[in-house]
Amino acid sequence: MLEKNLSKTMSSFISVHDISVVYSNGTVALKPVELEIYENDVTVLLGPSGAGKSTLLRVLNGLVKPTEGYVSSKNIGALTSSKQLRTHRKNTGMVFQQHQLIGRLTTLQNVLLSRIGSYSSLRTLFPLGKNERQWALNCLERVGLIEKALERCDALSGGQQQRVGVARAIAQRPTMILADEPVASLDPASSERVLGMLRDICKQDGIPAVISLHQLEYARQFADRIIGLSQGEIVFDGPPLDLNDKALEEIYSAKKL
Ligand SMILES: Nc1ncnc2c1ncn2[C@@H]1O[C@H](COP(=O)(O)OP(=O)(O)O)[C@@H](O)[C@H]1O
Ligand SMILES: [Mg+2]
């Protein structure tokens, strides 16, 4: 049974219309899913490994084409043409588990790299301007790393590197942030810091965020709304307070048909 979703009074930023994903090897990763992601919500996807969290995130940013159904966004409409998908991806900030930074570059250079994607290929032949540099520094300041701006990324701790990952995502001036297990390889103190910063920034800027996590306690602590996935199905959708033992059982005990 789906829980009542308290967010429903909020306006929708992105809609998933009856989407299913079957990979080419026949794996059914998402069974038909109908979903609204609301503006200003930090939505956490919770579920065991293989539940379909990464697939759903990839559908949300257009990296995986659904087998059936479609995604639409408030700003762009139905994401069907490659031009619409490109625009959508440019507007979507991604934070990854392995932050995918370039270790030999400085933190500032890594953050600036996110800005290059916003320009035409011709423009990228020229150095980015002073305004871009200032903006990137501002993003580093928001994650508490301004003093590390000129240090090589590989000299930073794992938690600091992930904060650079967050700075890089927000430097893109995204209209939505998607994060796939952003703290899976961090210690508890760093995990809380990264998730806290990500949440605060999204709240301050009014950016909807969808974050997949496998740690229940962080989902409870940082989500406005939790979507529980099990075997490609949404089995819970509601605020953290509603996530009771019965709901957890639905999420974590795979039903055998
Ligand atoms: N590229 C792929 N090709 C085939 N099967 C995949 C692919 N990616 C994921 N899967 C399968 O789809 C299911 C959902 O995976 P995934 O979305 O990665 O779940 P999660 O992120 O919750 O661990 C799993 O059974 C996984 O093995
Ligand atoms: Mg995953």
- Which residues have any ligand 1 atom within 6 Å of their CB? 23, 25, 27, 29, 47, 49-55
Give pLDDT tens digits for 112-131: 987 765 555 555 555 667 88
Cα of 46 from ligand 1 centre, angstroms = 15
CA of 54 to the centre of ligand 2 (A): 4
Arithmetic mean of pLDDT, 92-110: 91
Write the CB contacts of 4 (distance below 8 Å, at least 6 apart in sequence): 238, 242
Residue minimizing CA distance to atom 2 of ligand 1:
23
Set out the domains of the chain in order of their start, with CATH numbers. Answer: 1-91+176-257 (3.40.50.300), 101-173 (no CATH)
Long-range CB contact pairs, 187-195, < 8 A, 24+: 187/158, 187/159, 189/159, 190/157, 190/158, 190/159, 190/162, 191/159, 191/215, 191/218, 192/218, 192/221, 193/159, 193/163, 194/159, 194/162, 194/163, 194/166, 195/221, 195/222
Q: How far, in Å, is the centroid of ligand 2 from the Cα of 94? A: 14
Structure tokens at 66: 């659904």
Q: How far is the CA of 52 from the centre of ligand 2 (A)?
A: 7
Is the predicted pLDDT of residue 66 greater than 90, yes or no? Answer: yes
Q: Do 171 and 140 meet the contact criterion of CB atoms below 8 Å apart?
A: no
pTM of the model: 0.91
Please state the rounded mean pLDDT for residues 139-163.
Answer: 96
Indicate the top mutation candidate among 24, 25, 27, 60 to test ligand 1's pocket, ranked by most ligand atoms within 8 A of CB: 27
pLDDT reading at 256 higher than 50: no
CA 181 to ligand 1: nearest atom? 21
Ligand lying nearest the CA atom of residue 98: 2
> What pLDDT digit, counting tens, does each position of 17-64 carry?
999 999 999 999 999 999 999 998 999 999 999 999 999 999 999 999
